[in-house]
Amino acid sequence: MFGIVGIPVTEIAIAAQAAGIKYVGMRNEQAACYAASAVGYLTGRPGVCLVVSGPGFLHALGGMANATINCWPLIVIGGSSDRNQETMGAFQEFPQVEAGRLYNKLSVRPSSLEVIPAVIEKAVRTSIYGRPGSCYIDIPGDFVNLQVNKNSVKYVECCLPPPISMAEHSAVSKAASILALSKQPLLIIGKGAAYSHAENNIRKLVDLCGLPFLPTPMAKGVVPDNHPNCVAAARSMALQHADVIILFGARLNWILHFGLPPRFRQDVKVIQIDICAEELGNNVKPAAILLGDINAVTKQLLEEFSKRSFKYPSNSEWWKRLRVKIKNNEERSKGLALQKSLPMNYYTVFHHIREMIPKDSILVSEGANTMDIGRTMLPNYYPRQRLDAGTFGTMGVGLGFAIAAAMVAKDRAPGKQVVCIEGDSAFGFSGMEVETICRYNLPILIIIVNNNGIYTGLDANSWKEMLKLGNPATCVPPVSLLPNSRYEEIMSAFGGKGYFVKTPEELRNALKASVADKQTPSLINVMIDPQSERKKQEFPWLTRSNL
């Protein structure tokens, strides 16, 4: 349970701890809510976010929306004003249940104390059954200290894990036939596959059938990024020329360019696997529909392909073209990474991070360029070890996610390193959670890739010149942040270790010291060229042409 206490929920947090629930007090409800939602994604059971009435609830809406849009389970418990003061202008009064409906699969207030266990069971079940999402439970202040006769409470057993559904047999065989005829197939792995723990079976399928695969950002690691069939380095080309695509738990939304030209072939055949029937057919009419749990459906496909002894030839023209593209793209990034000029560029920074952090680190990442370039430069070898701005493109999630990942790792994988790589702008949204990290002594490594701004910034001299022009509010570019800000001092203020680095050597030394110290949180503030950019893309970001 993550949250911030106050009237009327302080007693709930105390009672939760007494019941053996870990309670992590955060500094802003938004970050608390992001943290709770990441627990849901990582474990398959919802974490809880506990908030006070009115503003506390409202601050958590961002987290509820982010969870529901990411299809992650979450329970939010909000205190609300006393029932007998409703509509009277009570302290922090707000129509929370109504407001919660837009953001949640379920938004309810228990009608009495007696039914709370049944309502909680329903919320947990709703959050994880079908397409996962957020659920909100409203607890009026006067409930908190009411007495109840134990015998009248409607206790219910907690819900079982979600039932496993499988695709229709005919659809499985249709999908296999379509794939068998494909000349340029592509398997796309989405974060639904990561969530459903389908890694072993998807990997078997890739190996058995020899198909090229492409992970979406948070699906990186479901099959390791260094698997020979990974075509992430030829992403645009793979998407643009594939004639058959099999989608494992990924929506054809903006992340996949809606499945439409010019990023896809007009005649691309899509085989869609999803647990949510309403999703099937969005933007593109599927050639085959596999409604069911990804892991179970992958098993069905494995059986079908084994029966047919299907193997896509590794010497096909398609594989040859993909391999050439991969090689070219990798060499371009390598060239940028090895540039010696100072200040460093993004590629150089990620090159050194990649060399110095443990291979099984949990990577949290946000920021525009920092996240986009980091995704291509930092490999994932294990599933569910990348958390980022996600489907909603939310900035400010990083520290909450890192705290959640560190709490989960503490229980399930002690000693695992959490590395949270932030743009300087992204860090600002939840920077005070550094205090939370230090309070719970979570040995998270935060790396800020600092370009003095949003997308790009100004160097210190240009900044000074700019200020001479007059009122900064009228002459400073809106993308600029204060140059050379010493963000690492926020970490040292709370007892962690802070490093300010400008050169590859300083960066490597700081990384080495941070990774070696398993007790202390640290923050490395890496100054880069404020004008450093992504390498040129074939398509402009979020292209609208021909849509």
Where along the sequence are the contacts to ligand ADP (CB under 6 A)?
70-71, 131, 190-192, 195-196, 216, 218-219, 249-251, 253, 255, 274-276, 279, 293-294, 391
Least Å from the CB of residue 547 to ligand ADP? 18
| Closer residue to Mg ion, CB minimum distance, 289 or 481 | 481
Q: Within 136-165, which residues bind Mg ion (CB under 5 A)?
A: none
Binds 219: which of ligand ADP, Mg ion, none (CB < 5-8 Å by kind): ligand ADP
Shortest CA distance to 383 belongs to which of 521, 219, 546? 219
Q: Give yes or no for residue 425 binding Mg ion (CB under 5 A).
A: yes
- How are strands ordered across the β-sheet holding 106-108? 24-25, 2-3, 47-51, 74-80, 134-140, 106-108
Q: How many CB atoms lie within 10 A of CB 84?
A: 10
Q: Give yes or no for residue 424 binding Mg ion (CB under 5 A).
A: yes
Q: ω before 185 within 30° of 0 (cis)? A: no
* Residue nearest to ligand ADP as judged by C-beta position: 192
Q: How many CB atoms lie within 10 A of CB 143?
A: 20
Q: First vs last Cα of the chain: how many Å apart?
A: 43
| Closer residue to ligand ADP, CB minimum distance, 391 or 417 | 391
Binds 423: which of ligand ADP, Mg ion, none (CB < 5-8 Å by kind): Mg ion
Residues whose CB is less than 8 angstroms from the CB of residue 233 and which lie 6 or more positions away in sequence, other chains included = 325, 326, 329, 330, 376
Least Å from the CB of residue 26 to ligand ADP? 25
Q: How many CB atoms lie within 10 A of CB 291?
A: 18
β pairing state of 445-450 and 134-140: unpaired
- How are strands ordered across the β-sheet holding 244-248? 213-215, 185-189, 244-248, 269-274, 288-291
| Closer residue to ligand ADP, CB minimum distance, 73 or 498 | 73
Q: Give yes or no for residue 451 binding Mg ion (CB under 5 A).
A: yes
Q: What's the one-letter identity of residue 21?
A: I
Q: Give yes or no for residue 366 binding Mg ion (CB under 5 A).
A: no
Least Å from the CB of residue 446 to Mg ion? 14
The answer to whether 372 touches 400, Cβ cutoff 8 Å, is no
Q: Give yes or no for residue 343 binding Mg ion (CB under 5 A).
A: no
Least Å from the CB of residue 189 to ligand ADP? 8
Least Å from the CB of residue 68 to ligand ADP? 11
Residues whose CB is less than 8 angstroms from the CB of residue 474 and which lie 6 or more positions away in sequence, other chains included = none
Q: CA–CA separation, 175 vs 246, rounded Å?
A: 9
Binds 204: which of Mg ion, ligand ADP, none (CB < 5-8 Å by kind): none
Only one of the segments 91-99, 353-361, 422-430, 472-480 lies at the binding site for Mg ion (rule: CB under 5 A); that segment is 422-430
Binds 397: which of ligand ADP, Mg ion, none (CB < 5-8 Å by kind): none
* Residue nearest to Mg ion as judged by C-beta position: 423
Beta strands in 168-264 (DSSP E): 185-189, 213-215, 244-248
Q: Which of 423, 443, 483, 521 binds Mg ion (CB under 5 A)?
A: 423
| Closer residue to ligand ADP, CB minimum distance, 118 or 255 | 255
Residues whose CB is less than 8 angstroms from the CB of residue 14 and which lie 6 or more positions away in sequence, other chains included = none
Q: CA–CA separation, 116 vs 111, rounded Å?
A: 8
Contacts 24+ apart (CB under 8 A), 484-490: 484/450, 484/452, 484/460, 484/527, 485/424, 485/450, 485/452, 485/525, 486/525, 487/424, 487/427, 487/431, 487/448, 487/450, 487/523, 487/525, 488/448, 488/523, 488/524, 488/525, 490/431, 490/434, 490/523
Q: Sign of the CA dihedral 250, 252, 253, 254?
A: positive
Least Å from the CB of residue 223 to ligand ADP? 14
Least Å from the CB of residue 406 to Mg ion? 24
Write the CA distances from 52 to 2, 166, 246, 318, 540, integer angstroms: 12, 41, 44, 56, 43
Q: CA–CA separation, 487 vs 157, rounded Å?
A: 47
Binds 131: which of ligand ADP, Mg ion, none (CB < 5-8 Å by kind): ligand ADP
Q: Give yes or no for residue 293 binding Mg ion (CB under 5 A).
A: no
Least Å from the CB of residue 375 to ligand ADP? 12
Helices 368-377 and 317-337 cross at an angle (nearest 10°) of: 120
CA angle 528/337/374 to nearest 5° reads 70
Only one of the segments 147-155, 219-227, 450-458, 468-476 lies at the binding site for Mg ion (rule: CB under 5 A); that segment is 450-458
Least Å from the CB of residue 442 to Mg ion? 24
Least Å from the CB of residue 232 to ligand ADP? 13
Only one of the segments 306-314, 404-412, 449-457, 485-493 lies at the binding site for Mg ion (rule: CB under 5 A); that segment is 449-457
Least Å from the CB of residue 426 to Mg ion? 8
Binds 308: which of ligand ADP, Mg ion, none (CB < 5-8 Å by kind): none
CB neighbour class for 160 (10 Å; exposed up to 12, middle 13-18, buried from 19): exposed
Binds 391: which of ligand ADP, Mg ion, none (CB < 5-8 Å by kind): ligand ADP
Only one of the segments 26-34, 431-439, 451-459, 536-544 lies at the binding site for Mg ion (rule: CB under 5 A); that segment is 451-459
Q: Give yes or no for residue 53 binding Mg ion (CB under 5 A).
A: no
Binds 250: which of ligand ADP, Mg ion, none (CB < 5-8 Å by kind): ligand ADP
Binds 195: which of ligand ADP, Mg ion, none (CB < 5-8 Å by kind): ligand ADP
Only one of the segments 275-283, 344-352, 410-418, 446-454 lies at the binding site for Mg ion (rule: CB under 5 A); that segment is 446-454
